[in-house]
Chains A and B, each alone.
Chain A
Amino acid sequence: MTEKTAYNERLEQKLTTIFAGGHSKYHEKMKEQNKLFVRDRLALLFDDGVYLEDGRFANSEAGDLPADGVVTATGKVGGQQVCVMANDSTVKAGSWGSRTVEKIIRIQEIAEKTRVPMLYLVDSAGARITDQLDMFPNRRGAGRIFHNQVRMSGFVPQVCLLFGPSAAGGAYIPAFCDIVIMVEGNASMYLGSPRMAEKVIGEKVTLEEMGGARMHCTVSGCGDVLVTSEQEAIAEVQRYLAYFPANFTEMPKVVELKAVKEGRSLEAIIPENQNAPFDMYEAIDQLIDEGSLFDIKKLFATEIITGLARIEGQAVGIIANQPKSKGGVLFGDSADKAAKFINLCDAFGIPLLFLADVPGFMIGTKVERAGIIRHGAKLIMAMSSATVPKISVIVRKAYGAGLYAMAGPAFEPDVCIALPTAQIAVMGPEAAVNAVLANKIESIEDPKERLKFVQEKHQEYKEQIDLYKLASEMIIDEIVAPSDLREVLAMRFSAYSTKHIPQPPRKHPVYPV
């Protein structure tokens, strides 16, 4: 309890003004948009609503700029200490002045020194143009925020919760975070506003179409998790952080195991016909602790699933082809999505599980012109250079470079397991027979004879790539019945948990970005 003195009263008054944020009309506006006041966001985020704040009096003498429009704080989330910067959009629309920027830089420095996760709660119109010389181009100007983010990338987890706009240069805060959680309807990211787009390039477009949360989570891939409210966003970041250690030197926490979700067996879920679709999510449910999947980029490049999950309490990162979407074929976007996810898991010691059911990379003019080879190279490099425990499970087909992308035997997975439904080959039987024998097939005039010939060749080809032949040649390490897979994975991940691979002496690879 603070003792009553004149100077304490003055302090009390100052604090009351600061805690109130901007003008009441802006608080009203936030309510209309289903947005929470910055201090209410922080109260929800931190355990018991408790946190320490720095730079509270920043610009307090200016009168209308309490805390200079940003709250920077440290406190616990799910028992883990984290640092946070949170824009206050009731103060000059959350825009950045020189002290705003300095506060953000300082809290980043604290996160780096104390080696704890850094969260960015963004709701900001961007630079305060009137203050630009003080906050934009200098050594400790806004650019330093991004420089710090890059420096801290892979050192501590960095997450962005996007509650409002993240405009122009400010849009790079989410871009350098590990993941971005966006509130539909309110969150947006763009370099130039629709008004600017109309003035400068003559395009007429709405904010939602050009930079809205749904667009970024489904089309551009700049957003990772789409939520419908701020409360949901905060619950999601709490759930996400539980998979991560405080920094790269520590290991992810292990929690109490849960049984799998009740459902059909993997034997019933996975069709033997290689070409028939099925829902990989249903299969994943039979491998992981119930309710443990944290899906990243669920709505983007849906032909590949990337998510954090737990197997018998241990955190794992799952990369799985989704045959139900685009046949599970890999595209440029799917490669980008998986590459970033692998980098994320590898940075923080989260082991990787690849579930392969992949006909290969997409072919055709459209994807070649879009550079599918260089996009695919990003995925293969990320997978190949990951040094965390890496298990490759061939669920059904793994054709061509698809086998490589999904951590096939050449890429040093700790084990390459095949289910009895697996089929590993340069290409599928239909494509292979056609590729090798097209002229011969066409020269057979009698349709019945032709069909008979083709079927015989299919059979021969299938025998050549028979799974037991591959196992006998030690190409794959293990064949496991689908219903035993979860247990095998739990044992193997535990066995590989001390894995260490010395790196070749060099600065870094030349990334194929």
Chain B
Amino acid sequence: MKQLLSTMAGTVFTIGVSEGDEVTAGQTVLVLESMKMEIPIEAETAGKVATINARIGDFVNEGDVLLTFE
């Protein structure tokens, strides 16, 4: 199973997909807020979202799993 990891420490700002959505490679699936910046997190490959492991407002550390793909 593929995982999408947080690229840096920050707070989840928006989540642009739901479980079951198909995403394309390079699509912004989630935006973090960190250092007062909006940090788009892109899917590395195409796939179907299996689980969303973070909620808006959650603090995530670098390397934490944000989403998993089927």
* A residues apposed to B, CB below 8 Å: 275-277, 323-329, 331, 359-360, 362-364, 366, 428, 430-431
Contacts and interface: CB of A to CB of B under 8 A. Distances in A.
A360 B38 contact: no
A376 to B, nearest CB: 14
B34 A327 contact: yes
A326 B41 CA distance: 9
Contacts of B8: 326-327, 329, 331, 362
A366 B36 contact: no
A172 to B, nearest CB: 30
B39 A327 contact: yes
A331 B8 CA distance: 10
B42 to A, nearest CB: 9
B9 A366 contact: yes
A399 to B, nearest CB: 9
Contacts of A327: 8, 34-35, 37-39
Interface in B44-61: 61
Contacts of B36: 275, 359, 428, 430-431
Given A277-B37, A428-B36, 18 more contacts: A275-B37, A275-B38, A325-B7, A326-B39, A327-B8, A327-B37, A327-B38, A328-B37, A329-B8, A329-B34, A329-B37, A331-B8, A359-B36, A360-B35, A362-B9, A366-B9, A366-B61, A366-B62
Contact of B40 (A324, A363, A430): A324
A331 B7 CA distance: 12
Which 5 residue pairs of A and B lie closest in terms of their CB atoms, listed nearest first?
Answer: A327-B37, A359-B35, A327-B39, A326-B8, A329-B35
Interface size on B, as a range, is 10 to 19
A39 B40 CA distance: 47
Contacts, number: 42
Interface of B: 7-9, 34-40, 61-62
Contacts of B39: 277, 326-327
With most chain A CB atoms within 10 A of its CB, the pick from B37, B38, B62 is: B37
A304 to B, nearest CB: 14
Contacts of A360: 35
7 contacts: A275-B38, A277-B37, A277-B39, A277-B40, A326-B8, A331-B8, A363-B35
Contacts of B38: 275-277, 327
A276 B39 CA distance: 8
Contact of B7 (A326, A328, A431): A326
Contacts of A431: 36
Nearest to B32: A327
Contacts of A277: 37-40
A275 B34 CA distance: 10
A487 B56 CA distance: 45
Nearest to A431: B36
Contacts of B40: 277, 324
